[in-house]
Amino acid sequence: MYWRIGAAYRKLPRVQNKAAFREIVKRGPPPGLVAFDGDVAVGWCQLTPRDALPGLDRAWRLQRVDQIPVWSISCFYVRIGYRRQGVTSALISAALKVAKRAGAAAVEAYPLDADKTPSSSWTGYATTFKRAGFKVVARHVPARPIMRHALKTIAR
């Protein structure tokens, strides 16, 4: 919910944020993807048109690079015990397919560059996105590139 409502996320009780997210899920379209190992949910990534995430513009200077109607992969969660096993890469691959089927021109991500910060990341790491074919299109903050994967040719 942070990317959807910005700093208000931290001010609201957890139960209220959960209820708001449930409403988003009920209203549709699905706000992301879930990875399973059998019947066990092992990972999640938020995938949605960037316009649904106004908090991006206010956070970490992630202002739009241009007016291309991109979709965003804005956060991940991978269950303990499943980390460093390719779950994030699988979610990125699936997200690209879903966004392409939905007609998105490109998918953007806002990962951390581990070479520039020791922080852990809920937004993924630049190296993972690079392996998936994403390219850096802007870097307003040294440790947080804006990366993009084109899904169709875009006339500029």
CATH of the domain at 101: 3.40.630.30
- 116 torsion bin: left (phi>0), alpha (psi -120 to 50), beta (else): alpha
Give domain status of residue 45, yes or no: yes
pLDDT of residue 156: 55
Range of the domain at 74: 31-150
pLDDT surpasses 70 at 4: yes
Q: What is the mean pLDDT of the chain?
A: 89
pLDDT surpasses 80 at 3: no
Give domain status of residue 25, yes or no: no
pLDDT, one tens digit per residue, over 79-136 is 999 999 999 999 999 999 999 999 999 999 999 998 888 777 789 999 999 999 999 9
Mean pLDDT for the stretch of residues 61-73 = 88
Model-level pTM? 0.87
Mean pLDDT for the stretch of residues 17-42 = 90
